[in-house]
């Protein structure tokens, strides 16, 4: 679908004390039931299928760190956001990696 790889952030690169750096928005593109089962504190929830019509809800002056369950849907969302001029990166391993690293889930 997209020819070039997207920028990726590894969970190990995040600060465990403050995983979402100032000036960064964590965007969760999972479905509602996945979100309800547990998500990162402070994340914005816009399911992947709703992103094109809700993209205006995202700040244009911040980096967008995109997360899904394992990193596949978020990679697609990241590529789409980058094409639209957003500073976006994919969280490698998604919420599986996030929770596995002991980062907070609510």
Token pair in block for residue 80 = 């789409």
DSSP, residue by residue, 35-57: HHH---TT-EE--GGGHHHHGGG
22: Cβ–Cβ under 8 A, 6 or more apart, which residues? none
Q: Is 11 a catalytic residue?
A: no
CA 26 distance to own-chain centroid: 5
User: At 32, which helix (H) or strand (E)?
Assistant: helix 32-37
From the candidates 46, 68, 77, 91, give the one annotated as an active-site residue: 68
Token pair in block for residue 105 = 């889930």
Q: Give catalytic residue positions.
A: 68
């Amino acid at each position: 679908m997209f020819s070039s790889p997207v920028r990726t952030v590894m969970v190990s690169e995040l600060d465990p004390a403050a995983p979402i750096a100032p000036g960064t928005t964590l965007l969760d593109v999972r479905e509602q039931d996945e979100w309800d089962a547990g998500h990162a504190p402070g994340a914005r929830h816009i399911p992947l299928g709703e992103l094109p019509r809700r993209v205006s809800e995202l700040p244009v002056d911040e980096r967008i760190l995109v997360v899904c369950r394992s990193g596949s849907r978020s990679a697609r969302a990241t590529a789409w956001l980058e094409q639209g001029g957003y500073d976006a990166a994919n969280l490698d391993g998604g919420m599986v990696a996030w929770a596995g690293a002991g980062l907070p889930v609510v």
